[in-house]
Chain A
């Protein structure tokens, strides 16, 4: 799992940049398709017109107020989840690390549900900050509990601690939802993880935090690469490992909390994407992280299109879609990557 292969270094910088550019183009194409496809398909010409000559027609309104915001949210959430997953996998050297599996998303979800229950739905800003707080508390607790198990923060200990934490947190979330029918009505589609009818103001409010988290992650790329060789190696090379870990954890919480606030718990994106990226780039997190961002965005926007198109006009929750794709990958990774 930590075998050091330096073939990423042999890949030229030019081809890596080229890959990022191609990825961005694919993402752009997906974005256009995401705006085009839906309960009612809209041709490309009208989409372009809605930007150049907005005339308040029905199609233009749908594009500008529904499809475009939703697609932008998909891209943001996908990038945030994938980068947070890659960061955690690098940081903990755990191929199974992901915000959903480690209970961080359920922590954010509980905080949001509890806020909604206690203060009602009017307070959008409280809602977002609580998601961050919940994610942070869950992340710290799971990591702490995982390190206490036999052999320290091994993949097994962290994953099992995360699963138990998730079970505990969701039992409290369920209890709140049962006690308050009103909260359930407002939140049940959100809890399944979805981008339908999301509040764009909330998105704009959370966006700066996610951008901060992404930038922080990209800046840490080099340090994470070193840290991934082992903490001792990193220390020998003169790295302040505690600082790096702390900064990476802050980035993870910003990304995970932000995406939970926008889309609810969307599992397995952060797990699958970094592994897909590592097929091409083995160990260099300076490149793994930005690639994860783009691949994550592409994956999530495609999943979101699928939720709308597969059972038209019925809409599937996004979290269900990603779990159906991601959970089998998880099982495969367990089979192939976990040392007994």
Chain B
């Protein structure tokens, strides 16, 4: 089973795809289109031209437009897109490191750890400022990663073990989280449920700006490490043979992935399966070379979450479904499909 679970990455394929710039451009345009679509639609539809005008600072003659776009829809849409980017990158890094195509941070318990600490902060220290949340989530995610690493990964990095241990740790963290939310008032619990399910509902600049530094720092670092990820993906022995400082590089990559995933969870709750779906679609498009895969995956993740948020908003309007519910409803069957297709 062990060798069957490897992601095949023949060395011959390890060069930058020539189609990459064009592909990235197309994905970027898709992302922009999704963002515009998400800002446009809602209980009060706004014409595309008015959105573009407002964003460029041209007066559209309707003061409502600026309020709806700048205060309500744009921040949440941008949060959705950035959360998608970070979650997808985090998933791709974990999959590459563990050489396990099912290692989504939401499945192996890392998101559950982040959720637990963030929820604890919300309930135990209600007056804590918003920028504390990403830090708390980061600590939670890091703790779970250390546990997973010491329990499953270190001893021969068996992919089987990793997932099962992750499921167990996830259950522990989730139990503590339930414990926390059982004691809240019904209003807080209702909010917490929306948050836990993964949602960008009501996210404003207040959440966007504490999240932004993590993205601005994390994404370029992750992309710049893609070559190291390629080498580590070949296996510890080969990586060592190629002169790689395996433990140090792996530790740094885990740190980056945890920071990306943790800050996303702190901003929007656990939006599950994005870190699973985006890298898989990415691999279909550009193969297993992380230098191609990481940027493509990031943009796919942004697109995915923005569209999931859009679907969640219009499906049962005026009631909103959290985008995490939408991604789980799509992602879980996809996960089962991967299991059944014996692709690993």
Interface set of A (CB-CB < 8 Å, partner B): 96, 101, 145, 148-151, 156-157, 159-161, 163-165, 167-168, 170-172, 174-175, 177-179, 181, 184-185, 188-189, 192, 267-268, 314, 316-317, 319-320, 323-324, 326-328, 330-331, 334-335, 338, 340
Contacts and interface: CB of A to CB of B under 8 A. Distances in A.
Interface string B181-219: 011001001100110010000000000000000000000
A160 B163 contact: yes
Given A163-B107, A171-B324, A340-B1, A319 B178 contact: yes
Contacts of B322: 174, 178
B138 interface: no
Contacts of A184: 186, 190, 193
Contact of B171 (A161, A179, A267, A338): A267
Contact of A101 (B167, B179, B190): B167
B338 to A, nearest CB: 9
A323 B167 contact: no
Nearest to A330: B168
Contacts of B190: 181, 184
A212 B218 CA distance: 57
A160 B182 CA distance: 28
Interface string B319-336: 111101100110111011
A188 B342 contact: no
Point out which of A156, A179, A330, A334 has the most chain B C-beta atoms below 10 A from its C-beta: A334
- Chain A interface mostly: helix
Contacts of B248: none
Contacts of B167: 101, 159-160, 163, 330
B323 to A, nearest CB: 11
Contacts of B332: 164-165, 167-168, 171
B2 interface: yes
Nearest to A100: B171
Nearest to A156: B160
B158 A340 contact: yes
B316 interface: yes
28 contacts: A101-B167, A145-B336, A150-B342, A151-B1, A157-B339, A159-B164, A159-B167, A163-B107, A164-B332, A167-B272, A167-B273, A171-B197, A172-B329, A174-B325, A175-B321, A175-B325, A178-B325, A184-B193, A188-B189, A192-B182, A320-B175, A323-B174, A323-B175, A326-B171, A327-B172, A334-B161, A334-B165, A338-B164
Given A268-B171, A334-B161, A145 B319 contact: no
Nearest to A191: B178
A170 B270 CA distance: 13
Contacts of A172: 325, 329
B336 A331 contact: no
A319 B174 CA distance: 11
Point out which of B178, B186, B320 has the most chain A C-beta atoms below 10 A from its C-beta: B178
B114 interface: no
A145 B339 contact: yes
B243 interface: no
- Chain B interface mostly: helix
Contact of B329 (A101, A150, A171): A171
Point out which of A96, A171, A175, A340 has the most chain B C-beta atoms below 10 A from its C-beta: A171
Contact of A189 (B102, B151, B182): B182
B124 interface: no
A171 B182 CA distance: 19
Contacts of A165: 332, 336
A150 B3 CA distance: 13
A151 B165 CA distance: 20
B126 interface: no
B156 interface: yes
Given A160-B102, A164-B339, A320-B178, A340 B164 contact: no
B136 to A, nearest CB: 21
B176 interface: yes
A331 B151 contact: yes
B197 A174 contact: yes
B4 interface: yes
Interface string B146-169: 000001100010101101110111
A316 B179 contact: yes
Given A181-B190, A338-B161, A327 B168 contact: yes
B340 interface: yes
Given A145-B340, A164-B339, A165-B336, 7 more contacts: A163-B107, A168-B336, A174-B197, A181-B190, A320-B175, A327-B175, A330-B168
B128 to A, nearest CB: 23
Contacts of B151: 331, 335
Nearest to A326: B171
Nearest to B320: A178
A16 B189 CA distance: 48
A320 B319 contact: no
Contacts of B175: 319-320, 323-324, 327
Contacts of A161: 336, 339
A309 to B, nearest CB: 16
The 8 closest A-B pairs by CB, nearest first: A168-B332, A171-B328, A323-B175, A331-B168, A327-B171, A327-B172, A334-B164, A148-B340
Contacts of A157: 339
Contacts of B329: 168, 171-172, 175
B172 A328 contact: yes
A81 B44 CA distance: 50
Contacts of B194: 178
A306 B154 CA distance: 36
B165 A185 contact: no
B273 A160 contact: no
B3 to A, nearest CB: 11
A318 to B, nearest CB: 11
